[in-house]
Structure 1
């Protein structure tokens, strides 16, 4: 069964009386080339555990099951559960969980799946076609919870992907760019025009792979201070860092000026021009002053 075929999707919907949910951001992928590329670039192996977020009717799930040792598909829409059990009935290495991914205890889930087919699992790969409305919270939960995944290959709104990939000095560079790049390296996998989805969304998508860093790119005295500085800096991105950081941890403008001089950063610069290394230097200096 070609689950990615618009005809198949239509037939499955009619059979089960399924209606797309706008509130859940449901858009099903219909391009086999993109599906194949996601599986290939995810580097899934036979001893790997794959966790899929938002399987829909199982288009990507089935392809992942062909390559992986085991696939755990997390689907929030209970109306899709009976459909998934039917469309994926041929596979004995798929577990379907009806839950909100933001409520999933990943540490417990991975502990329960330390072995694949009687062997210690090799890697954990996370994949998914993420709903636009909740993309950032999902990504940050995985990263901030320190989920022991090797990579995260996800389809997301092009605009958000551009923000994640952005480099210092660009208009799209922001707090999300810094946060994700602190935890991961970012690779472009594929472009996905809106025409290859059912129903068709209003914007194009992009597939990216986030390779979780084994070692962080900068040495921090405090991650809390680092992210507080990043948030404050981009919170008023039109202002200079001298102004946007005034008040952080109770520091006066004069004290911020001293901190910036010590960190070797011109106070008239704006957050969008700072690299991860410069944010780290600034945060470490503020931490030392505190």
Structure 2
């Protein structure tokens, strides 16, 4: 397979027709057909002979083919079992294992322990648009032993993940990502490099996982409860949003905000991660 470039539309169409494969809209299947983009994704992931890669949704295998050529081992997780017969032809490599399962149901901690002993593990993927946020939150919340995430996502999602306080894209997921990683948008990808062609452009975003969370808090669950409550009703003031969504008396929230040095009349989108941490800590102190 090494001499056959899977991203060639001609090669892809021939093999898919051969196996009677039909693209699934419900699974968000859009396969990459641009070799430069695929190689740039692999370069962004900084793979070498000690790299272990988890690929979510390999699809036809265009990115997988390049990952196998650069990493020590690739474990690809594919929800569409109808692709198994295709993969037997397209992904005939000694250093790959394909698991036909929904990534959201996979015990990734166990998988990493069993499959990647002594390797530097990274997650690299062209993510389906419809489930991008749940996948990223699963990765961050379950704290895998990984050093990097490089994923293709919808352009506006990448902008949200990489935004700053006060911007319209800034939200709860921005803060969740910021808590665990440094992010950068590596490239913008036009919709013309996919088969079939999606309606919107994409972007490749890189996450460098921090050795420890960016801030230290008394209770991590409270931090995320505060963040979620603050963005639950974006137009409300911080005082009203926290009181309504955390089910706490306004007087108590007002005292918390005063102790944290934050104006009760501001909106959550104006605060940075440390300020959310200060609020969470003050709530914990008051409850003890």
Q: How many angstroms does 1:250 deviate by?
A: 4.3
Which of 89, 98, 101 matches 1:99?
A: 101
Answering whether residue 171 of structure 2 is matched by residue 174 of structure 1, we say yes
Instruction: Kindly indicate whether the alpha-carbon contact (under 8 Å) linking 2:5 and 2:11 is maintained by their aligned counterparts in 1.
Output: yes
2:267 match: 270
Which of 83, 87, 93 matches 1:80?
A: 83
1:281 match: 278
Give the secondary structure class of the aligned counterpart of 2:47.
coil
Instruction: Kindly indicate whether the alpha-carbon contact (under 8 Å) linking 2:184 and 2:207 is maintained by their aligned counterparts in 1.
Output: yes
For residues 111 and 28 of structure 2, what CA distance do their matches in structure 1 show? 25
Q: Normalising to structure 2: TM-score of the pair?
A: 0.96
CA deviation vs aligned residue, 1:128-152 (integer Å, no higher than 9, x gap)? 1100000111111111111111111
For residues 203 and 114 of structure 1, what CA distance do their matches in structure 2 show? 35
Answering whether residue 49 of structure 2 is matched by residue 52 of structure 1, we say no
Which of 177, 187, 190 matches 1:190?
A: 187
Which of 14, 18, 23 matches 1:20?
A: 23
Within a 5 Å distance, the mapping from 1:1-290 to structure 2 comes to 1-89=4-92, 91-115=93-117, 120-121=118-119, 123-247=120-244, 249-290=246-287
Alignment: residue pair count: 284
For residues 114 and 27 of structure 1, what CA distance do their matches in structure 2 show? 28
Q: Normalising to structure 1: TM-score of the pair?
A: 0.96
Q: How many angstroms does 1:217 deviate by?
A: 1.1
Q: How many angstroms does 1:249 deviate by?
A: 4.8
Give the secondary structure class of the aligned counterpart of 1:246.
helix
For residues 255 and 138 of structure 1, what CA distance do their matches in structure 2 show? 35
CA deviation vs aligned residue, 1:136-184 (integer Å, no higher than 9, x gap)? 1111111111111111100001111111011000001000101111111
The CA RMSD over aligned residues, in Å, is 1.0
Instruction: Kindly indicate whether the alpha-carbon contact (under 8 Å) linking 2:234 and 2:268 is maintained by their aligned counterparts in 1.
Output: yes
Q: Which runs of 4+ in 1 moved over 4 A?
A: 247-250
For structure 1, the 5+ residue unaligned runs are none
For structure 2, the 5+ residue unaligned runs are none
For residues 247 and 201 of structure 2, what CA distance do their matches in structure 1 show? 43
For residues 115 and 16 of structure 2, what CA distance do their matches in structure 1 show? 32
Inter-CA distance 249–14: structure 2 relative to 1 (3 Å threshold): closer
